[in-house]
Amino acid sequence: MRDKKLPRLAIFGHLKKRKVSEVIGKFMNFAEDKAEIAANYGIESCSADVLNNCDFAVVFGGDGSIISAARNLSKAGVPMIGVNLGKLGFLAEFGVSELEQYFNDIVSGKAAIERRMMLECKVFDSYNSNSARFSSSAINDVFITSGQLHRMIELKIAVDGQPVASCVGDGLIISTPTGSTAYNLSAGGPILDSSMQAMVITAICPHSLSFRPIVIGADSRVEVFCVRLSDGTTISIDGHDSLLLQAGDVVRIDRAKRAFLVVNNPLRTRWDTLAAKLSWAETPKYEKENPA
């Protein structure tokens, strides 16, 4: 470890958004004598040389901003401190005041750092093709959607070379535990603990009452064979990278070799976050009895 007095930080945020830029400015004033600010970036921008010499990256924004930054930060292995300035904030664990309150604990290593798995997705023209025409890493999920005409498509699924099912419907989601509370949850998939090593396969509006989501081991290989598609059928990675698919394409999804690191908020557990953000397991609101 480098011999230094102050922790070295990289800051990320949508600098053109007034609220974000104002909060970042206030934080930089707060951290002036507590840390060395290596760089102040827009969400999509970063320099590997700078990141490789940073101890933490502070990301200001919503979950979309966190995902955009995390895809780059994972390459450098820099722990991410997410500060929520969005509407939901599952990945942004800290509020602005909480970051300032626990800043010394975080940079001194007292806050837990969680290692979260990612997915690696490749698209091949055929099963026998040796080179992929598309490749990308996912923080949340890989999903295939039917297209603009909303006609049903047919996808065959295999896990570790073994045929699993034929899915006829509007598409398919393969999610990480982190992404289990995103599109997967909306499509009726299960909530996974973010520290688990697993993948979820969830159909989007399947034309079958018996097609239910399944959870498989993180080291499994998922292959999706595109049997029948609609015009505009698309594969998307975290809602960022996307590619139009063609009949005969094979989508291969593996656990990524790298992970992304998230600094946990000591004030709350992941279950607190579920309850606060989605009202998960909330007690029913019973009608009060009228007084006699």
**d(C-alpha 130, C-alpha 133), whole Å:** 10
Q: What is residue 70's predicted lDDT score, i.e. its pLDDT?
A: 87
Residue 204 has pLDDT above 70, yes or no: yes
How high is the pLDDT of residue 292? 56
Measured CA distances, 259 to 9, 21, 89, 139, 174 (Å):
20, 28, 20, 9, 17
Q: For the chain, what percent of residues have pLDDT higher than 90?
A: 61
Q: Which CATH superfamily is domain 8-112+264-278 in?
A: Probable inorganic polyphosphate/atp-NAD kinase; domain 1 (3.40.50.10330)
Identity of the highest mean pLDDT range in 11-15, 128-132, 222-226, 272-276: 222-226
Q: What CA–CA distance (Å, rounded) separates 112 from 105?
A: 10
CATH 2.60.200.30 fits 118-257, yes or no: yes
Residue 24 β-bridge partners: none
One-letter amino acid identity for 234?
A: T
14 in helix, strand or coil? coil
d(CA 168, CA 236): 18
Predicted TM-score (pTM) of the model is 0.89
User: CA 98 to CA 267: how far, in whole Å?
Assistant: 8
Instruction: Identify the pLDDT of residue 42.
Output: 76
- In percent, the amount of the chain with pLDDT more than 70 equals 93
Region 104-125 average pLDDT: 94
> What sign results for the dihedral spanned by CA atoms 123, 125, 128, 131?
negative
Confidence of residue 46 (pLDDT cuts 50, 70, 90): low
Q: How sure is the predictor about 128, in pLDDT bands with cuts at 50, 70 and 90?
A: confident
Identify which has the larger pLDDT, 186 or 149: 186
Above 80 in pLDDT, residue 47?
A: no
Identify any residues that bridge with 19 across adjacent strands, giving them in sequence order: none
pLDDT in tens, 82-102: 998 876 667 888 989 999 999
Compute the mean pLDDT over every residue in the chain, rounded to the nearest whole number. 89
Give the model's confidence band at 234: pLDDT under 50 very low, under 70 low, under 90 confident, else very high: very high
| Cβ contact 175:202 at 8 Å | yes
* Whether residue 18 has pLDDT greater than 90: no
Q: Is the pLDDT of residue 283 over 50?
A: yes
> In angstroms, what is the C-alpha Rg of the chain?
21
Q: How far apart are CA 174 and CA 158, in angstroms?
A: 12
Least confident of 7-11, 46-50, 121-125: 46-50
- Range list of H helices, the chain: 18-30, 48-51, 63-76, 96-101, 103-107, 183-186, 270-278
Active site residue 63: yes
Residue 3 pLDDT greater than 60, yes or no: no
Predicted pLDDT of residue 34 = 93
Active-site pick, 55, 63, 238, 249? 63
Domain pair 8-112+264-278 / 118-257, same fold: no
Domain-by-domain residue ranges, the chain?
8-112+264-278, 118-257
